[in-house]
Amino acid sequence: MSQSRLLRAADYPRMPWKNGAGSTLEITRDAGDGLDGFGWRLSIADVGESGGFSAFTGYQRVITVLEGAGMRLEVDGHLSRDLTALDAFAFDGGSVVDCELLDGPIRDFNLIYSPQRYTARLQWLPIDGELKLFSAATTLLLFAADGEVAASLDDVAAGSLGRHDCLHLENQGQLAELKLAGTGTLCLIELTPR
């Protein structure tokens, strides 16, 4: 039996960064309070200036630029490629990370998860019409970068996502059919406990 919860961008709570240099809109998480105790967490951050990232030791991070020209990261002394819109980049959450903005402020999308507790898969999907996917992941998260896309799981309507909305689906780990219809760009995240 699957369960779904539609999360609207207007309702995301704002939380301070661990390093105090900015703030994050928290989309959803599996558990825990504040900035500790979660197994996975989704968030949006507004980055107004170049500088250091907060450390999340014991976690893996996948970051994607949503808005703005982009950024370049230095991770433990190694430079990343230029990261522009919808180009996901993964790194160890415990790394020393410095961000250089390419041309002004950006907004980014973050998945942080514990690789000891979860396996994770993240992919960006352009939707233009209909798309059908199958997944046996325990948790499915759909995040809309833009557009308007309706989703159903095993032929049960789960809601329509607008810009920066998120659909949180719990699936009990059986193979489920996910149907998407509309136009936009979605991030599909599949999480399964180890």
Domain range annotation of the chain: 6-113, 118-193
Is the whole model's pTM more than 0.85, yes or no? yes
Q: Dihedral angle at the C-alpha atoms of 127, 179, 44, 41, nearest 10 degrees?
A: -150
- Cα 143 to Cα 127: distance, rounded to the nearest angstrom: 12
Averaged pLDDT in 10-residue chunks for the chain of 194 residues: 86 82 87 77 93 92 97 97 97 96 95 96 97 94 96 92 95 88 97 93
Task: Tell me whether the CATH fold assigned to 6-113 matches the one assigned to 118-193.
Answer: yes
The arrangement of secondary structure in 118-193, i.e. its CATH architecture, is: Sandwich (2.60)
The dihedrals phi and psi of 142, each to the nearest 5 degrees, come to -115, 125
The verdict on domain 6-113 having CATH code 3.30.460.10 is no
Structure tokens at 94: 């415990």
